[in-house]
Every structure is written in structure tokens, then in C-alpha cells.
Structure 1
Amino acid sequence: MAFEQLAADFYGFENELTDQEKEAIAALRAYLETEVKPIVNEYWERAEFPKQVIPELHRLGVASFAWDETKPFDNSAVFRGFVALELARVDGSVATYVGVQNGLAAGTLSACGSQEQKDEWLPKLASGEIIGAFGLTEPLSGSDSAQGLRTTAERQGDEWVINGAKRWIGNATFSDITVIWAKDVADGQVKGFIVPTETPGYTATKIEGKQALRSVQNADITLENVRVPERLRLQNANSFRDTAKVLRATRAEVAWAAVGVAVGAYEAAVKYASERVQFGKPIASHQLVQDLLAKSLANITASLALVVQVSRMLDAGTQRDEHSALAKAFTTSRMRETVAWAREIFGGNGIVLDYDVTRFFNDAEAVYSYEGTREMNTLIVGRAITGVAAFV
């Protein structure tokens, strides 16, 4: 399938991709444009996830390529970033499904599981045979999860008894397993557990009333004397620091998704400006509209430059927490600005789903907040700059 460079990739960063990676991007783009884009507004409005897209996403490999045990061909972090961008430029909710399944769930197992656990669970996650979720955030603990985690795990013989609650857990209403992070009552350290969702005492309830990423099935989870065997404890997750192994990579991919949301809104604005006629000519011919489009493209280009370099560093093994944190903080801020400018170009039409831009506008608010708020990420960068932690 022929690959065409995105018009929003003004400086041609996609040229770094190999021919094989470009072919994979082209196949994904064709599927998203023909099968996903036409239905996403309907599902967004109903706050339902289009589960029928899941098998093809796995067949295309976008939910299975990031980890050594499952990837169908050698690929770069830059390629994985462009996949996140492609997904998000069509729908942030579908991008979030992939991010949870491939990054947070499979990523945790890859980074923190034993070889036996990886052999058992990663192929099933890669194929889509099972759906995964990631339970870290709690009703009373978000940015302070390192210190404020309230969910507990107590070892009793060959079992662990887990009690607590989680909130905002993506995919959790239909996941088969959820990675639950809980504090060991014996040593106070945070440990990870693979919890099958049919386990007695585990309940997931859909969060209603969301106005962003409405198709993502976020849930409140309650854990009441949930018993899991020792074999389902992640054998290489022994402290909260181990979550950083996962979040360092997934935070960078959220930065890529933020660029994708900005691109989706920008593309919608360019199309509308070319077609909408006022005062006898397309509004694209108005200087004020061109100014908004040019500023939007500058935001996208600067953000692309940043995330491409962060992904290069990930490939080279030199990326640190502060690098992904800066990427997430910057790109989500520029995304928020860009979707607002795009919505402005639409005038009143910018608040109805018919033109897509209001979905991007709303979804941007969730992307701006999850996997580390802007403030928390700037503090991670500030600590790297000064050597002084200012979190409290």
C-alpha cells in the first residue's frame, strides 16, 4: 500500500521510517480512515467503545509490537510513536485502548513479570485473546500515588489478599485481567499483581458522565478480599520505582498521542476553512484564519521534533524520566492550544460532532491530564534541572 506523508508533518519526520514501517503505517491509516473514522462520533456520543475494531487492530499489529516477546518485526520507538499519532488523529479513545492494552498492561508484564509470566500472558494480550487494564490511580490518590497508595495486599500462605479501590481505569469494564498495584502490609512496598477480573471480590463499574474520551470505558474498581495466588504477583515489581519502567515509555507515547489529537483537529480545520464560504470566498483566504492555521502547524511541528528525539533516545537506551516528562508536558500544552484555535475556525459549527473538531477539543482535556499532569511533569523536569525535588 502506497505511503503518503502527512501534510501536518511539515518537516518530514516520517522520512526516518523504514520502508517496512511506512507500509505498516499506510495499512493502519487506510483502515482507520475507512472503517474507524466513519463511526467514532456515533460511539463517542453514546459513550460506548467500538469493540468491533479490536480484532483488526491486533491483526495489524498495533496492539502487539512494542515488546520483544510479541513484536512481528523489528521496529523503532519512532515508528511506535507514529502509530500512536495515527490512532489519535482519528480518535483519541481508540488510541487510549491501544495505549492501555499494549503499553500499560503488556508493558507492565514485559518490564516486571517473570519469564514464565511473560510467556503465559504476553501472547494472549498481543493477539487480543484477552484484554488488559492497569490499576494504579485511586479515588484519593493520583499524583501522589508514590506515597498515598491506599490499596493493600497481605500475604496469607501462597495467596495475597487485596483490598482497596481504583479509579479512572481504562478498558476496565471489559478487561480480562487488570494489573493492580497495592501496598504490601508487611514491608510497605508497592507490588504488582495480575488479577483476573472474574476473581470473587473484584468489581468494575463504568464511570458515567464523562465529557472527554467518552468512548474509553473507564471504571471504578473495588477490591474486597480479592485473593490471588503468589504465581500472579509480578515477580519483578517490588517497589513503586518499578512502575517507572513502564510509565517512562508510556508517557512518551501519550506525548505522541497528544500530537495526534492536535493533528486531527488541525486537519479538520484546514478542510473546513477550504470549504466554508463567507463574504463570497472560502474563509481559508482570510488572513486571521491563515494565522491560526500557521500557529497550529508550528505547534505540531515543534511537538513532533520533541517526540521524535525522545523516541530516538528510547531506542538508544538514553531516555530518562525527565525526557518523557518534558515531552508530555510540552506536547499536551501545545495540543490544548491547537485544538482551541482549530475549534475557533469553525465558529458555531465547532461545537457539534458533525465536524469532528469538538471531539478533539474535549478529548484534549483528558490527554492533558492523564499519565501525569502538566504540573507533575514539570516538577520531574525541574528536579532534573536543579537537583532539588519540589513535589511537596
Structure 2
Amino acid sequence: MAGLFDKAKNIYQLLKNVDFNQLEALSKKVDLPKVMDQFSRLDERQLQGLMKMMSGGTGGKKELPPINGDFYELSGSLSAEDRALQLKVRQFMETEVKPIVNRYWNRAEFPFELIPKMAELNICGLTFEGYGCANRSFLMEGIIATEMGRIDASIATFFGVQSGLAMGSIYICGSEEQKQKWLPPMQQMKLIGSFGLTEPEVGSAAAGGLTTTAKRHGDTWILNGQKKWIGNATFADVNIIWARDVDDNQVKGFIVEKQNLGFSAKKIEDKMALRIVQNAIITLKDCEVSEANRLQNCNSFKDTAKVLQMTRAGVAWMAVGCARGAYESALKYTRERVQFGKPIASFQLIQNHLVEMLSNVTAMQTLVFQLSKLQDEGKLTDEHASLAKVFCTMRTRDVVSRAREVMGGNGILLDYDVARFVADAEAIYSYEGTKEINSLIVGRAITGFSAFV
């Protein structure tokens, strides 16, 4: 009798909210007595399942777990001070950048109003000692790159050029006088920098093939040549230019100011990726640079490579951010997008994609955490940085592709963010050393043979 009572109660629960006008209309389409007879034949488990399905699959409103790409809680290992800085940068990206980023990305324009707000974070030159810099860990620098990349890779790239490549060139290769003059205003973002290494016909072969030349005449150097893909160069105050000294055939670095005669920068148009970044072709035509603006501690490409090694690790972290942003956007979308009467996140194939995305993101995160640990211990090598760059940018491409896939047609719309992550991942995959070149660096380290031409 008790079982019959429970069954009747469950049937009542199913029908108690039925509108009788709807019930009358339904009776014209189905045999209601037969339906009720079938209900009466269901056991307790089947009735509970039917009730769950009819209430949206959960038996009521269910509190979903938080969306968090840090699945292994690696941020939990940070000190309270570092965690506070991470959350400070995250808030800046969420409140200041995210609301405007798609508009600027679509127009291929830079949001200059963000520069003074970013300066207030006091994070430029984070790992440098002195000159107004914070002297924090490389781990913290990487986490900041990820927090920026998680919202927008263009802003992360702008910051990486300013804080890493431009300031880093002066910090590593400059004299003490040059550091005192240039680093404090760059740290405060009162001066913006660019980094000019790549050329129209010279990318991967920069170590031995720069066509931009430098010729010394007394205390003046004359620079001639072109640079391509130079981020920030359309508006930078300070441009780090790498050129081949025609007298000793060695690469040297120069601080070229935007007002220098013979210097010009033209914006590269019609990019499909990192559209906020103002990449330029720099032309140097008998550009005069004083000996005081030659980086005094750069005597060959090996010195340039020290800067690239440091910043290549940051690119790996940025790739993690791009992947994490795509994953979290896709997860949010699949929990809200309803098809066949249920959120698509409840379907097996969608969950498989989400888990594969999270697996990649988590593997990348654990790799770069160890990478920065090596860097903080002074053990980072070229091959360490290159392996991270290869792996993280490859996995990022896979993550953003799956994110776009689970979002269907909406995945190609800027409104949902993932389309921007898909495009920007292609640029991250190629810059600061292609996959092939970085693979050869690692290959040389593990085999003992150099496969470079």
C-alpha cells in the first residue's frame, strides 16, 4: 500500500501544475487514460527520473560549480601578496579591458585610455631590480601575462613588448647611465617602447642575417634598413633597433627615439590577429643615432638572445592565458545554451571537448609554473624556454579550436569572445620564434646535433 501511495504522490507532483485548458487541448492529441495507465506501471526509480527530466534535468534549480580554469589550484601556492596582485590585475582586465576590447579589436585601434590605468598597477619591469621596478619573481610575471591573455592577447602583447622586450633590452644590454635615464619613465609608462628585430625578409634567420646596417662616424651611428611586425612602433617613444655593424659584422642595439631624423613607422593594415596591437614597418634612412644611445653592453647577437630567452617564457604564459580564456568562455556558453530542452553542457560529446580543453590548459599551466621556477632559480636555458613556447602555443591552438566547435555558429561572432581567441592564437603560435625554430633549439639540446642551416 505504501508503494502505491508513493507512486500516486509522484504522479500528483507531475500533474499538479498542469493548466486544465492545456490538459483539455492535450486530450485531443493523446489518449490521456492510456498515458495515465503507463504512468501507473512505472516503478519508483523511473518516476523519479521522469520528474527530473520534466523539471529541466535537475529536479529544480541547481547551483553549478564555479568556472575556473585553474583546475589544479596552482594559484593556491602563491603568497598572499602575490595572490592579491594577481587578483588586482584580473579585476583590471575584467572591468577596464573586457567591456571595450571587442570594439577596439574589430576596428584595429588601440585603446590609449588604458595606458594610465595600467600604469597604476605598477607592474612594468616587474622582475627588474631598481629603477622603480618591483623586483618580483618571474613566476609572478608569468601569472600576470596569463591574466592579461585570459581576457585579450593584444593587450598582453602590448604589455609584453613594453615591460619585457623594450625595457628588458635596456636592463640587460644598457649601461647604468642608460638604465637610469630610460627605465624609470618606461616603468611608469610615461614612455612607451618597441622592439625592432624582425625584418621584411629576415625572421627566423635574424641571428646571422640582419640586413639593417649601422655605420659609425665619430660619435654618431648611421642606420639604414627596415623592420617589420614591430608592435607599438606607430606610437612608441623609444624604439630598440637591432642592426649589423658593417665594420665588425656583429649585431648591436640602439635606442632610437621617434623624433630621430630618418626614422619612420607605418602601420601594417588588414591583420587577422592581434588587431589591437599597432604593428608597423619601420624604415631607417640615414637615421642618425648618437653613441650615447647605443646599448653599451650589446656586442653580438648572443646579447640579443638573452632578452629573447627571458621574454619567450612570457609568451608561453600568454598562450596559457589565451587558452584559459577560450576554455572558460566555452564552458560558460555551454552551460547557458539550451538545445533539445537541456543545456548542451549536459551532453556527452560536449563534456568530452570541455575535458580535453581543460586537460590541455592544466598541462600547460603546470609546465609554465615549473619553467618560471627554473627561471627564478637562475637555471633557465634556451631549450627550456623554447620547449614551453612550442608546447603551449600548439596546445592553445587545439583549445581555441575546440572552444569554437562547442559554440557552433556563434563561435565565429566577436560577441562571444572565442572568435578573437581563435584568431589571436595564430599570431602567438608564430611570434618570438616559430614552432619549427624553437623545436630545433630543443632538438639540438637533446641530440647534441644542430639541424640549423
Same fold (TM over 0.5): yes
C-alpha contact 1:266 1:296 (8 A) present in aligned 2: yes
Q: SS at the partner of 2:113?
A: helix
Which of 164, 167, 170 is the aligned partner of 2:225?
Answer: 164
Which of 316, 328, 341 is the aligned partner of 2:389?
Answer: 328
Which of 79, 84, 92 is the aligned partner of 1:23?
Answer: 84
**Match for residue 274 of structure 1?**
335
Q: Does 1:245 align with 2:299?
A: no
CA distance in 2, matches of 1:85, 1:165: 32
**Match for residue 201 of structure 1?**
262
**Match for residue 21 of structure 2?**
none
**Match for residue 211 of structure 1?**
272
After superposition, the C-alpha distances for 1:112-139 in whole angstroms (9 at most, x for unaligned) are: 0000000100001100110000000000
C-alpha contact 1:65 1:71 (8 A) present in aligned 2: no
Which of 368, 372, 382 is the aligned partner of 1:311?
Answer: 372
Residue identity matched to 1:42: R
Q: SS at the partner of 1:195?
A: strand
Q: SS at the partner of 2:353?
A: helix
Q: What is the correspondence of 1:262-301 to structure 2 with a 5 Å cutoff?
A: 262-301=323-362
Q: Does 1:111 align with 2:172?
A: yes
The 1:6/1:191 distance shift into structure 2, 3 A limit, reads: farther
CA distance in 1, matches of 2:359, 2:151: 20
CA distance in 2, matches of 1:239, 1:65: 26
After superposition, the C-alpha distances for 1:263-294 in whole angstroms (9 at most, x for unaligned) are: 01001000000000000000000100100000
* Displacement of 1:64: 3.3
* Displacement of 1:66: 2.5
**Match for residue 154 of structure 2?**
93
Computing the radius of gyration over CA atoms, which structure comes out larger, 1 or 2?
2
* Displacement of 1:16: 2.2
What TM-score do the two structures reach when normalised by structure 1? 0.98
CA distance in 2, matches of 1:376, 1:71: 35
Q: SS at the partner of 1:81?
A: helix
Q: Does 1:371 align with 2:432?
A: yes
Aligned residues: 388
Q: Does 1:69 align with 2:123?
A: no
The 1:73/1:183 distance shift into structure 2, 3 A limit, reads: closer
Q: Does 1:39 align with 2:100?
A: yes
Residue identity matched to 2:360: N
Q: Does 1:385 align with 2:446?
A: yes
The more displaced of 224-233 and 9-18 is 9-18
Kindly report the root-mean-square deviation, in angstroms, between the aligned alpha carbons of the 2 structures: 1.0
The more displaced of 53-62 and 235-244 is 53-62
Residue identity matched to 1:83: I
* Displacement of 1:324: 0.3
Q: Does 1:226 align with 2:279?
A: no
Residue identity matched to 1:365: E
C-alpha contact 2:322 2:396 (8 A) present in aligned 1: yes
Residue identity matched to 2:292: R
After superposition, the C-alpha distances for 1:99-154 in whole angstroms (9 at most, x for unaligned) are: 00000000010000000000100001100110000000000000000111000000
C-alpha contact 1:161 1:226 (8 A) present in aligned 2: yes
Alignment gaps of 5+ in structure 1: none
C-alpha contact 2:166 2:240 (8 A) present in aligned 1: yes
CA distance in 2, matches of 1:388, 1:304: 30
CA distance in 2, matches of 1:156, 1:13: 54
After superposition, the C-alpha distances for 1:339-381 in whole angstroms (9 at most, x for unaligned) are: 0000001100011101000000000000000000111000000
C-alpha contact 1:81 1:256 (8 A) present in aligned 2: yes
Alignment gaps of 5+ in structure 2: 1-65
CA distance in 2, matches of 1:12, 1:149: 44
The more displaced of 15-24 and 373-382 is 15-24
Q: Does 1:339 align with 2:400?
A: yes
Residue identity matched to 1:122: L
CA distance in 1, matches of 2:402, 2:187: 38
Residue identity matched to 2:397: R
C-alpha contact 2:149 2:155 (8 A) present in aligned 1: yes
After superposition, the C-alpha distances for 1:169-201 in whole angstroms (9 at most, x for unaligned) are: 000001001000000000000000000011011
* Displacement of 1:7: 1.4
* Displacement of 1:73: 3.7
**Match for residue 352 of structure 1?**
413
After superposition, the C-alpha distances for 1:19-74 in whole angstroms (9 at most, x for unaligned) are: 11111111111111111101000000000011111112121022232211246544
Q: SS at the partner of 2:407?
A: helix
Residue identity matched to 1:382: G
Residue identity matched to 1:341: R
Residue identity matched to 1:307: V
Q: SS at the partner of 2:71?
A: coil
CA distance in 2, matches of 1:338, 1:254: 16
Identity score, percent: 56
Q: What is the correspondence of 1:145-164 to structure 2 with a 5 Å cutoff?
A: 145-164=206-225
Q: SS at the partner of 1:258?
A: helix
What TM-score do the two structures reach when normalised by structure 2? 0.85
The 1:376/1:41 distance shift into structure 2, 3 A limit, reads: same
Q: SS at the partner of 1:211?
A: coil
